[in-house]
């Protein structure tokens, strides 16, 4: 099973470089066009996903539904795929966070896997809900397909920190290097074999 993780389309907060986290922002016009191009990219590469799963947040759902309509593929909201909760930092830029929360930012920056943001989550908190959701999804899809079934693709529309933290976890990359290694543009795609999540 091929899991195609994609980041949602662009929002105004992306353009303004504001931290979104759990804040439920909408796609902007460019984000909607990015979703259309994502569907075309999948078609061009002859990828016809069995299903599309999406984070419950609007920017992901809107992206997923555009792709779903273009490809005539079922779209399902999946808990566990939502973005990390950045707490009091949401709505700020990273520069503002450094200015307004210098001690908290330093502690988080040096140990971001386990250090929570003020009234928010750590990346480990994110993984603790993400990994069980993904493992059960792979098991459900494998069982539904049946033994000996040909490989198929699933698209998961989610968020930057979700994808970066998952890749860092799977590849044993230090979490302070996740941005330099794994940051995706809006509607960028990362492919992961489903069995990697079961080992």
Tokens representing 20 are 């979104």
Name residues whose C-beta falls within 8 Å of residue 35's C-beta, 6 or more positions apart in sequence: 9, 27, 62, 63, 66, 67, 187
Q: List the alpha helices (DSSP H) in 12-57.
A: 12-15, 29-44
Which pair of structure tokens corresponds to residue 14? 């992306």
Catalytic residue among 82, 83, 121, 141: 83
Is position 90 annotated as part of the catalytic site?
no
Whole-angstrom Cα distance, residue 40 to residue 37? 5
H runs (alpha helix) in 45-110: 58-71, 94-100, 102-110
Two structure tokens written together for 176: 């302070």
Residue reference for tokens 């040909």: 150
For 179, the token pair is 């941005």
Is there a catalytic annotation at residue 83? yes
Distance of alpha carbon 25 from alpha carbon 64, whole angstroms? 15
Closest CA to 76 of 188, 7, 156: 156
> Which residues have a catalytic role annotated?
8, 83
């Amino acid at each position: 099973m091929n899991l195609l993780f994609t980041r949602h389309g662009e929002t105004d907060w992306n353009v303004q470089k504001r931290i979104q986290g759990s804040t439920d922002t909408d796609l902007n016009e460019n984000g909607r066009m990015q979703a259309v191009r994502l569907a075309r990219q999948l078609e061009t590469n002859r990828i016809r996903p069995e299903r599309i799963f999406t984070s419950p947040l609007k920017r992901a759902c809107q992206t997923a539904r555009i792709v779903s309509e273009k490809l005539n593929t079922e779209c399902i909201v999946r808990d566990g795929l939502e973005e990390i909760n950045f707490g009091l930092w949401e709505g700020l830029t990273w520069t503002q966070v450094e200015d307004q929360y210098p001690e908290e930012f330093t502690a988080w920056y040096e140990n971001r896997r386990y250090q929570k943001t003020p009234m928010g989550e750590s990346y480990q908190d994110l993984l603790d809900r993400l990994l069980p959701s993904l493992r059960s999804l792979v098991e459900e899809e494998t069982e539904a397909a049946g033994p000996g079934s040909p490989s198929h693709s699933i698209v998961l529309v989610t968020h930057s920190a979700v994808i970066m933290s998952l890749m860092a976890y799977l590849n044993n990359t230090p979490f302070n290097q996740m941005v330099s290694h794994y940051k995706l543009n809006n509607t960028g795609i990362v492919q992961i074999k489903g069995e990697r999540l079961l080992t």
